[in-house]
Structure 1
């Protein structure tokens, strides 16, 4: 009987030491390069696609995929991504795609600018444009720099991260924009 108590006690001590050692190894940090916890939230973003409302029936579409990574939280000029827009009416119009060069967001408003890299509008490539989006759920609004400066080919270029007030309405049921607010370390 005494031998079995000693054996049981020794076994319990061995199990306890194994549990403590294993727990300490697990608690010491990630192993084999595996990350722990969720990745950091990106610093800012503007995504989504929608058509604008025009009573004359214009076919106007804007699409955004703009992001500011968490590690660039202090510099909106490090934003990446693209945005595209098109405007057609009665068989005429144009489309353009731009590479993002700046993204600023605050609350539910985003301002993104970029340089046109692809367009069927002669002379538009290489020109900067800016767009402002107000994320209002199903009633988003949008404005663009060329409302004040004229066509990207004819007008002056805005500086980085400059758009216009979001005066246009998104066509009901056509899509939705999403703004991730920027929360810089000040």
Structure 2
């Protein structure tokens, strides 16, 4: 019977710690604990490689809070990109509306909030692979029907390469927590 009571108390403590985000553990440690780890993130800036000399830059500051681990559409942050060649091109800035990462690959979508291109007000999708030395990037914003928006959390394969020495992306892997039986 004593073993059963200990198991019940341990399970209740574990549930309490999980439900309060670790507050019970912080109290026992006199309030000193590290900040909760984010559920997912994509940060950094880099230029893409193009043999004709295009100046293409992507920048990300995208995050998914731990409390929203199972709700990637609650991601927040910003992104920007620009593309110039021969003095012509454009730029865009936006707000993240979804972020999913797996291993070293991240997929984010967001709404362009400011731009000198027709992208303003539209959702774009961007994929990044952070392999530490040869990061890659892909995007998806062209649809066959201009009236059909890019869905949240959807983008193309990372087919572009990052220009050597231009920067680096960092992906924090998402670790979804699924209910157990």
TM bucket, shorter chain: 0.7 to 0.9
**What is the CA RMSD across the aligned residues, in angstroms?**
2.0
Corresponding residue for residue 181 of structure 1: 173
The reply on whether 1:164 has 2:159 as its aligned counterpart is no
CA separation in 1, counterparts of 2:125 and 2:135?
17
Corresponding residue for residue 123 of structure 2: 128
SS in 1 for 2:73: helix
The reply on whether 1:72 has 2:68 as its aligned counterpart is yes
**Offset at residue 36 of structure 1 (A):** 2.2
Larger proportion of helix: 1
**Offset at residue 185 of structure 1 (A):** 0.6
**Offset at residue 40 of structure 1 (A):** 1.3
**Offset at residue 157 of structure 1 (A):** 2.4
**What pairs up with 1:106-145 in 2 under 5 angstroms?**
106-121=102-117, 123-145=118-140
Aligned length: 153
Larger Rg: 1
**What pairs up with 1:3-152 in 2 under 5 angstroms?**
29=28, 35-121=31-117, 123-146=118-141, 149=143
CA separation in 2, counterparts of 1:110 and 1:156?
23
**Offset at residue 116 of structure 1 (A):** 0.3
TM-score, normalised via structure 1 length? 0.77
CA separation in 1, counterparts of 2:153 and 2:92?
18
SS in 1 for 2:94: strand
SS in 2 for 1:137: coil
Gaps of 5+ in 1: 1-26
**Offset at residue 39 of structure 1 (A):** 1.4
CA separation in 2, counterparts of 1:149 and 1:175?
30
Gaps of 5+ in 2: 1-25
1:50-84 deviations in Å (ceiling 9; x for gaps) = 00000000000000000001111110011000000
**Offset at residue 37 of structure 1 (A):** 1.5
Q: Judge conservation of contact 1:134–1:142 (CA < 8 Å) in 2.
A: yes
